[in-house]
Amino acid sequence: MDWSVSKKALLCCILALLFSAAPQQKGFCGASTVALPESLLFVSTLDGNLHAVSKKSGSIKWTLKEDPVLQVPTHVAEPAFLPDPNDGSLYSLGGKNDEGLTKLPFTIPELVQASPCRSSDGILYMGKKQDLWYVVDLLTGEKQQTLTSSFAEMLCPSSSLLYLGRTEYTITMYDTKNRELRWNATYSDYASTLPDDDIKYKMAHFVSNGDGLVVTVDSETGDIQWVQNYNSPVVAMYIWQREGLRKVPHTNVAVETLRYLTFMSGEVGRITQWKYPFPKEKKPKNKFMATLYVGKYSTSLYASPSLVHDGVTVVPRGSTFPLLEGPDSQETEEDKECVITPSTSVKFNAGLRQRNRINFMRNYLLLIGHHETPPEAHTKILENFPENFPRNQANVIPPTTDKKGEEKVNDSGMDDGPPPTSIQEPGASGRTVRSEAPVDSMLKDMATIIFSTFLLAGWVAFVIVYPKNVHKQQQLQHQEFQRQMEERLELLQRQQPFAPVDAGLGLSPDGDFLEVARARSDCSDHSSPNVTPRASNHSNLSVSEVGSSTYEQEDGEEDFTTVRVGNITFRPKQVLGHGAEGTIVYRGQFDNRPVAVKRILPECFSFADREVQLLRESDEHPNVIRYFCTERDRQFQYIAIELCAATLQEYVESKDFDRHGLEPVELLQQTMSGLAHLHSLKIVHRDLKPHNILVSMPNAHGRVRAMISDFGLCKKLAVGRHSFSRRSGVPGTEGWIAPEVLSEDFKDNPTYAVDIFSAGCVFYYVVSQGCHPFGKSLQRQANILLGAYSLDSLLSDKHGDIVARDLIEQMLRMDPQKRPSAESVLKHPFFWSLEKELQFFQDVSDRIEKEPLDGPIVRQLERGGRAVVKGDWREHITVPLQTDLRKFRSYKGGSVRDLLRAMRNKKHHYRELPAEVQETLGSIPDDFVSYFTSRFPHLLMHTYLAMRICAPERPFLPYYPTAEQLQKTQTQCVQRLPEPCTRPPQSHTALPTSQTQEESQPVQPEPSSSDSSVDTGHPEVLGLPTGSDVLSGNVSERPTVPLGPDVLTAPDSSD
């Protein structure tokens, strides 16, 4: 009885404990207030995240993280297929006829559903499908359970749980011709259906390609509901309806197009109003085109349909890099450049692809961008294997087949089996057949064979000869067409004002521009009276819409033909240069001022508008090219900019070029000043090179200046952004592109540091008089990706080379975060005048004059100092100066501090020095500074690096970048910074002349070179850094060690 009572009591206790602990267990039954799933919108992104967002604001409530939607191999030598993450469609890269991108007529789910199957091009498909159920907490998005066909846990039902189905489709392709695995991929999709017809979905979602920007618009009113960025391309959107996901449509739009529509609202980076889906005129002004966007995610490519406006660059059909092995590549000598033309075939065999892996990956990345909608590939899935497919080697007489059957066999595409034959069995007698055949039948057969032979021979000859004739005819037709077009363009330019521009150029018949053109030039309001104005209904155009007119000089020579478009005039014969995409630069005039006129084709109008906008923002700086006006006629757009004398390449390489006193260091300083101005406006140039740095025309005083030009690839960063995406392509010119733009090793987006890297290449190009730090043009970009540069022209132990080498090495660092900002570059000693160097030495000497010998500043200055002063600096100066220094006090030859003190004292008392000493030192400041820096070339950089510890102090602000300037590119060169002060430095001021005046005192005995206080041994004996350590920036990495006894000797208090 007692045992039964105890048993019941124990059971009650256990139940009580379970009951009290039940509400704390995850997923256990319990009442809670939950948000209705109908109020949520589910956004699936390429990285595998499923975001539950608010329908009203787009804000993320929770995120379910899963594997990426697409998983493709990363070890393949080249991409074979591009999957579409939206529906699993497949696009082939470079078929057997090298036709470029083509769309396969089936998707990954369809292949899995039909597998095992075979396509007509000889590819075997093997598929696998796996279904999963995720049990998710509606409140937190936490995954409570995963249900598969082989595993399921017990879970208490709850109203706060969502059941989300997900299917993984895995497809593997095997090429029967090459007998190798071709490609494999896994595509995941959530189980969903379309919304019910009786429920009208009132929102429209516009998704940008390449990133996760989503713009949600009210489909009835056109009002923008919300804008959110989910940091990964959006592949699907769902709503919750009747206990399940229902897929809602979304429109993929190019990033540039969304920005273009954003710009229409008047506030870049933030959409406030938008006419949805297009302006509601009868004839819409915006023209959108369906394209295929090729993007990059992680280490693989994907493809997605996308809408673009008529200003976005689109790659035409058939444009791709060779993926299959072709003819032998053109052989070139090592020191000569090879220009690859469309007629030069490049052979991408295995060995070449292994040796030039970096160049191949660069071509691989060039696929990124918008392509014309590709055609559909001529392949199909075979329903069944042909009945006559050979399954064994038995020789059987096949039954008689009609032509339809033969056609069916041929259509099947089974080209890897032997053709159907009529092989008789041994027991069958062929003589019976021949005896029954009459002679006429044999003659007919022979005639048929002969006729077929001649017909086949003629067909072979036709196939060989016809393409050559067609190619020649196409070349002749192309030349004739080009000649006719040139004649038409020249004739049109000479005509009177044209008829209204059609909508093909972005204008509606009533003359209104696209709203994005509101920022264009209004210089046409002052149009020349020599040009007949357009009709009054075109007077509101912000860019001149007048037609171009021509007139000739009195002599009537064709060379003097002048074209006038609005306020711009130019002579077509005076061509200054040619640019990309058919751009031509002429010498012209604007308002009786000589200018350079860029003529741009209609396909590049959007880039021209962006360039004009950036020029307007930045041309107030003297080292940025000046913009004057924009005009447009029926064929072209014209931009009038400042006329310059030459490019930087001519400045460096032309011996006959008149530099007008513009020295290389001053030119580079002006270039960096212009670049710093652009960066202050949040503009990244992205194409800095010698061709884009111009030298101006001489002004009234005969002075010229350097200017940054060509803003076609510039990038304006949004407020709060410090980097730009690589999804839009690879900007820049090969050989001048920073490694983080192309390399897969850099996970962060490129920043302003790409311009610093290009500027470092330009710096070396100038100081070396035409050399590139990364070698010959064919190997430059590969060497850039490897970080293999050479500064052979700056290897001498001269003061100027040491300073220049220090700066260029910082600018060419592989890690973009360790490169200096533009403002920091301008503060470098490379740009200091000799007067500023002397003032710096004096300020340093004043600062450390009263510092204790064992203080951190003096210790930092003396660390590695013996290598700087070459053991004993007194032995390397002239005899008259040595004699003069001994008159008043003694100096320690192994001390940098005493060397700076001697320089300061002799500078202060220069007028009191004997004539022979003055003659030895030369004039102040130039000869005086050169006297010491030529003997001690490492002195300036050693002192500059050591005294960074005092950079925040007022006297040193002109010499060092501020903390804010260092932070702009996150340039914290910890290895180059000395140890911080352990105590605040003593306040000091520059010592007046009366305090530094040398007193006439008896000459103190000077220790000899054999004295223990003057150690002329190697600096590494003391554990101090050598000169190479100072240059490599490893000063602060050395441990603090006791200094030699000569350094600890107290200075004479009289000086």
Q: Report the catalytic residues.
A: 687
CA-based nearest residue to 547, from 494, 599, 607:
494
**How many residues comprise the chain?**
1055
According to DSSP, the residues that pair with 129 across neighbouring strands are 169
CA-based nearest residue to 631, from 515, 715, 549:
549
Strand bridging mode 89-93 / 288-297:
unpaired
Q: Is 778 exposed, middle or buried (CB count within 10 Å of its CB: 0-12, 13-18, 19+)?
A: middle
Cα 358 from Cα 779, distance rounded (Å) = 10
Under 8 Å between Cβ of 973 and 960: no
Hey, is 774 helix, strand or coil?
coil
Under 8 Å between Cβ of 981 and 862: no
CB atoms within 10 A of CB 718: 13
Cα 579 from Cα 586, distance rounded (Å) = 11
Backbone torsions φ then ψ of 477, nearest 5 degrees: -65, -40
Under 8 Å between Cβ of 859 and 1048: no
Cα 349 from Cα 478, distance rounded (Å) = 33
Peptide bond into 533 cis (omega under 30): no
Hey, is 248 helix, strand or coil?
strand
Beta strands in 345-477 (DSSP E): 369-372, 381-382
CA-based nearest residue to 72, from 83, 87, 56:
83
Residue 409 is encoded by which pair of tokens? 């066999």
CA-based nearest residue to 415, from 66, 120, 791:
120
Cα 267 from Cα 302, distance rounded (Å) = 32
CA-based nearest residue to 751, from 772, 726, 783:
726
Hey, is 940 helix, strand or coil?
helix
CB atoms within 10 A of CB 143: 14
Cα 618 from Cα 640, distance rounded (Å) = 15
Radius of gyration of the chain (CA): 39
| Measured CA distances, 545 to 516, 531, 572, 801, 841 (Å) | 16, 11, 20, 55, 62
Cα 499 from Cα 554, distance rounded (Å) = 29
Strand bridging mode 101-107 / 117-119:
unpaired
Q: What is the DSSP string of 301-364?
A: EEEEEEEEETTS-EEPTT-----S--SPPPP--TTS-----TT------HHHHHHTHHHHHHHH
Cα 543 from Cα 702, distance rounded (Å) = 35
| Measured CA distances, 781 to 362, 687, 861, 993 (Å) | 9, 14, 40, 56
Q: Is 549 exposed, middle or buried (CB count within 10 Å of its CB: 0-12, 13-18, 19+)?
A: buried
CB atoms within 10 A of CB 241: 18
Query: Which of the 8 DSSP states describes residue 544?
Result: B
Q: Which residue has the tokens 């990706």?
A: 785
Q: Is 65 exposed, middle or buried (CB count within 10 Å of its CB: 0-12, 13-18, 19+)?
A: exposed
| 593 sits in which H/E element | strand 593-600
Q: What is the DSSP string of 727-747?
A: TT---S-TTSS-HHHH-TT--
